[in-house]
Chain A
Amino acid sequence: MLHLPQLSCKNVTIVYEKEVAVSNVSFDIEEGDYVSVVGENGTGKSSILKAILGLVPLREGTVSFEEGFKKNHIGYLSQQNPMQKEFPASVYEVVLSGCLNSKGLMPFYGKGAKKLVKDTLMKLGMEEYIKKSFAELSGGQKQRVLLARALCSTDKIIFLDEPVTGLDPVAVKEMYGLIEKLNKDMGITIVMVTHDIENALEYSNKILHLTKRGYFFGTKDKYIDSPYAAELDGNAAVRNGD
């Protein structure tokens, strides 16, 4: 039988009002992969994630999931949205909204969804906050709640857009620990946009590095030997030298 990857992007090109954000990028993601998407600002890291999720249109190319994969098998943790800062919602309400697609056409959630919310919050160590107001949580707690919501909507693949930006070092470490647990213990594919190249190299098995001139996609070991890795390291050295 022909083996198909879980997610396959072919010749993806994204254009915003005449400006090319992503040009002719192709890669395959297998089930259970942990892919970090890295690169300088403005190289289209978020754009490519949004294109896979159908949030921005493709100019050229295709994005295809394995056979039988439905859109409601996707989990998504977007960049922090300033509007959510003062949104009146309890942790329970936020996480429950991740179950929306499994609800089908019924107007209300069943017992299964409510149990899933509790179990998921337990897994992420947030069960005591279930009745708290989302707006009043710390940055790290908010991200964990949003991760719980993503987990309620999928057990296959989660896309994360800079999940640790703005978190304190302890929360960053916890977040990486949780994401690794989802990947290793539950077999969930992780695709993460990040600025944090050190942690990307520590946790992921594959790297997608976008630059204005070209891109690298491959295993971590190949990446470390490639000129692309030297480029990011070089930049880090320049920054540290300031």
Chain B
Amino acid sequence: MTAIINAVGDMFSYSFITRGVLVGGLVALCASVLGVILVLKRYSMIGDGLSHVGFGAMAIGLAFNMAPLKVAIPVVIAAAFLLLRISENSKIKGDSAIALISSSSVAIGIIINSLSEGTNIDLNSYMFGSILAIGSDDMVICIIMGVSVLVLFLLFYHTIFAITFDESFARATGVKVNIYKSLLSVLTAITIVIGMRIMGTLLISSLIIFPALSAMRISKRFKGVMIISVIISMVCFFWGMVASYMLQIPTGAGIVVSNLIVFIICNIASVIMRK
């Protein structure tokens, strides 16, 4: 136990880890609240698709020597609008459309990266995430974005609940559903772009899906699911960070595995509670 406490003390003596914990914790918080909505609305694969689009956009940004975040945020927001529109259009199957867009973005990103020289290592860190990815400039953008996601979510919490529970009732009683859905896609896009630096393109969607699913095993009330999802997400994020520091394993993977363990525990708990 003292070994863990010492390790935590050690960890925070590195400024890059402190930055990672701050930004990552904020992302984990945003992802856990948005995740509940996305999972309930059956949009969880959109998170996965967006992170792949983000990968492509960042590769292009790097190749042209632009700040990757500034390229990726608008591109991913545009993609979020597109994906939401596609999943509502019955003519195209939403899940296959997301798969097409995901793999195409990654492919384009990799080609652009291999044509431009000397950026391979960076791209690898975008794939699997890196705690080193957050520089002090990025940290400011990330924190501003993360805080705005949270504030907007809290301001519109009740409307978002009404739309998630019953979109047609909300629409029939005069709620401007499309505006709120656009808002949700913007918030999701921002969260994913910021989060994929630490978690990696391949792992960021787990931050959205796992806490929400675990919380839904435990609570049957919306507010309860929200609060438990936030707690699970923060705890798993922190333990993932500590484990990655102590065991020298990649941070994103550590966070996902701690989420997996909690998910299994929550499933067992829900079976026991039902008896």
Contacts and interface: CB of A to CB of B under 8 A. Distances in A.
Given A53-B172, A76-B168, A76-B173, A100 B158 contact: yes
Interface stretch (B12-20, B27-35, B107-115, B218-226): B218-226
Interface stretch (B64-72, B138-146, B149-157, B260-268): B149-157
Given A83-B42, A90-B220, A71 B174 contact: yes
A89 B221 contact: yes
B175 interface: yes
A136 B171 CA distance: 26
B35 to A, nearest CB: 13
A96 B175 CA distance: 15
B168 A89 contact: no
Contacts of B222: 87-90, 93
B50 interface: no
Interface stretch (B2-10, B159-167, B195-203): B159-167
Interface string A71-101: 1101110100101100111100110111011
A81 B171 CA distance: 15
B162 A88 contact: no
Interface in A6-62: 50, 53-55
Contacts of A93: 161, 165, 221-223
Interface residues of B, number: 28
B42 A88 contact: no
A216 interface: no
A133 B221 contact: yes
Interface stretch (A103-111, A114-122, A181-189, A218-226): A103-111
A191 to B, nearest CB: 12
Given A88-B222, A90-B221, A100 B175 contact: yes
A88 B222 CA distance: 5
A135 interface: yes
Given A89-B165, A97-B161, A71 B173 contact: yes
Nearest to A149: B169
Contacts of A150: 169
Given A72-B173, A100-B175, A103-B158, A78 B221 contact: no
A133 B170 contact: no
A89 B166 CA distance: 12
Contact of A78 (B40, B159, B166, B223): B166
B62 interface: no
B270 to A, nearest CB: 12
A136 B222 CA distance: 14
A239 interface: no
Contacts of A81: 166, 168
A72 B162 CA distance: 14
B254 to A, nearest CB: 28
Contacts of B156: 107
A54 B162 contact: no
A50 B222 CA distance: 28
Interface of A: 50, 53-55, 70-72, 74-76, 78, 81, 83-84, 87-90, 93-94, 96-98, 100-101, 103, 107-109, 133, 135-136, 149-150, 153-154, 159
| 7 cross-chain pairs, A with B, having the tightest CB-CB distances, nearest first | A71-B174, A133-B220, A53-B172, A97-B162, A76-B172, A90-B221, A89-B222
5 contacts: A50-B168, A53-B172, A72-B173, A93-B165, A133-B221
